[in-house]
Amino acid sequence: MSARDPLIPADPDFAATIRRGTLGMPIARFFGVEFTDIRPGHLEAVLPYRDELSYRPGHFQGTAVSAVAYFAATSALGTLLAADRIGLTLDQNVKFLAPAVGERLVARGRVISAGYSVGVGTSDVFAVRDGKETLCATAQVTVRNVDRKKLEG
């Protein structure tokens, strides 16, 4: 990889930074999101089923599907940010493709565009039932990258 390669993380400890920053959020803890694969420009998030996330037994409600899609896409973008920067959501678009029925959701996020000020990520969400994955949603998220210190002041 060259120094100009956009998939070179600016933070050498990017995986720990993403885990600490995203999974430390109260909303991520509420949903129970887990990260199972973190690489530059890619992130896999898992959301185990529980009744509080359903609209009927065994069926994830759309909010839970949207949340895991969001966490995967934005956190994939975060793998390429410097430790002193953070992405703030500008837009999220989710397309539901099939019922989200299963023991867990797996969202695979990846970077589409990693600009200094604006980033675009996408994720595909799969419902896993009896070991079989069914694509149930796809999402695109746009973020504005800012200095963390500006948020604290």
Instruction: Please report, in tens digits, the pLDDT of each residue of the chain (153 residues total).
Output: 334 456 789 999 999 999 999 999 999 999 999 999 999 999 999 999 999 999 999 999 999 999 999 999 999 999 999 999 999 999 999 999 999 999 999 999 999 999 999 999 999 999 999 999 999 999 999 999 999 888 876
Does residue 134 form part of some domain? yes
| Structural domain range at position 88 | 14-152
Does residue 3 form part of some domain? no
What distance in Å separates the CA atoms of residue 72 and residue 67, rounded to the nearest whole number? 9
Does residue 21 form part of some domain? yes
State residue 151's pLDDT score.
82
Closest CA to 107 of 57, 48, 147, 27: 48
Does residue 45 form part of some domain? yes
State residue 150's pLDDT score.
86
List C-alpha distances in Å: 46 to 8, 114, 145: 24, 23, 25
Characterize 99-132 residue by residue with b for buried, 16 or more Cβ atoms within 10 angstroms of its Cβ, and e for exposed: ebbbebbbbbbbbeebeeeebbbbbbbbbbeeee
pTM: 0.93
Does residue 25 form part of some domain? yes
Query: For the chain, what is the domain count?
Result: 1
Closest CA to 38 of 139, 111, 131: 111
CATH number for the domain that contains residue 108:
3.10.129.10
Does residue 102 form part of some domain? yes
Within a 10 A sphere around the Cβ of 62, how many other Cβ atoms? 14
